[in-house]
Amino acid sequence: MKKLSTHIFALVLGVVMAFGFFRVSSSIADPAPRLSQAPETTTLAQNPAINSRSFVAQAVANTGPAVVRLDTERTVANQLSPFFEDPFFRDFFGNMPQQMPQERQVQGQGSGFIIDGGGMILTNAHVVDQADKVTVTLQDGREFPGEVLGTDRVTDLAVVKIRERVPNLPVAPLGDSSQVVVGDWAIAVGSPGGLNNTVTLGIISTLDRSSAKAGIPDKRVNFLQTDAAINPGNSGGPLLNERGEVIGINTAIRANATGIGFAIPINKAKELKDTLAAGREVPHPFVGIQMVDLSPEMAKRNNDNPNSTILLPEVNGVLVMQVLPNTPAERGGIRRGDVITEIDGKPIATGEEVQRFVENSGVGQNLQFKVLRGDRTTTITIRTEQMRDNV
């Protein structure tokens, strides 16, 4: 009897252990992601169906409804060929040119996102610049007339407002682009090619990519670079982090490459949105020079060339290639061939540093440029002015 009791005890113990091991193994093999790794919004926490989705689906569910499509129209004057002004042509064909339409309608399309309950929308300036008509289409298909409150071509930012009062508008949560690091997730949302609510996924490839190095020298922005697919029509749409917060505004792609896109950091948009919404001009100081970086090695190669027309100082600095007419630089006395080595006593080694120094100085400020001209060193005072559209 004792022997039988021992066997029964062993059998029960084995079942308990087997059940325990089975439970542990199931826990280890469970492939479901742990959502606690990323912060949840109130909406997500209240919806168990969403909680089982990927972080991309959660991010888009959080912010996607606030992304809009912007359709624009503007009137463009037709430029008649000089051929039509030729007297022989007029004599032969009569008054045909006068019968041709003098204007035409140009349509455009882009994206944007709502940033407050009053219908304020952030987008790119090139999406809505000079638009006579803007139509805002929400994710649910509703259309409303929009009004361009302000644009800034230099940063490629614009603010549009829905003209009608629309209750319960979805609003995109704005993140902090200063906290973004290389390798972070990047989710692009927009309407490329008119395909509404298109989502692509990638990472942040580089921070602080200057507009000059991005191939957009007429802008003054340090971009977030991403490999998330950005296509025509994505312009003005949001670049999201893994929590669905807007960290950038998609604005451009590299034409000669694949998987290289650029977004304006959202902190730059936060800085300028109130100025744009009020219709005020964004200050952009400038001096009016075209320049290239100079190193001792580059200068030596130039000086060793018997066909070189100028001898350059073999130093680190910025070489002035051209002084634009009727600009502060021309009035201050900067000349082509000058090498800038300091501004207000601070060493300068790159054109980006010159641009950043001028941009941060403000309009109407006197800057002291230390330049090397031939074998002489001189200091030139230049008073910054507001950048003009034709510069």
Q: 71, 111, 152, 156: which is the annotated catalytic residue?
A: 156
User: Among this protein's residues, is 235 annotated catalytic?
Assistant: yes
Give start and end residues of each alpha helix (H) in the chain.
2-29, 42-45, 48-51, 55-63, 87-93, 96-99, 125-128, 266-277, 296-304, 328-332, 351-361
**Is the torsion defined by CA of 24, 28, 33, 37 positive or negative?**
positive
Cα separation, 88 vs 298, whole angstroms: 56
User: Among this protein's residues, is 156 annotated catalytic?
Assistant: yes
Cα separation, 249 vs 241, whole angstroms: 12
Q: 111, 177, 191, 235: which is the annotated catalytic residue?
A: 235
Q: 126, 191, 211, 284: which is the annotated catalytic residue?
A: 126
User: Among this protein's residues, is 308 annotated catalytic?
Assistant: no
Geometric angle at alpha carbon 91, from 86 and 94, rounded to 5°: 105
Cα separation, 372 vs 59, whole angstroms: 54
Cα separation, 237 vs 56, whole angstroms: 16
Beta strands in 57-197 (DSSP E): 67-77, 103-114, 120-123, 133-137, 143-152, 157-162, 185-190
Active site members: 126, 156, 235
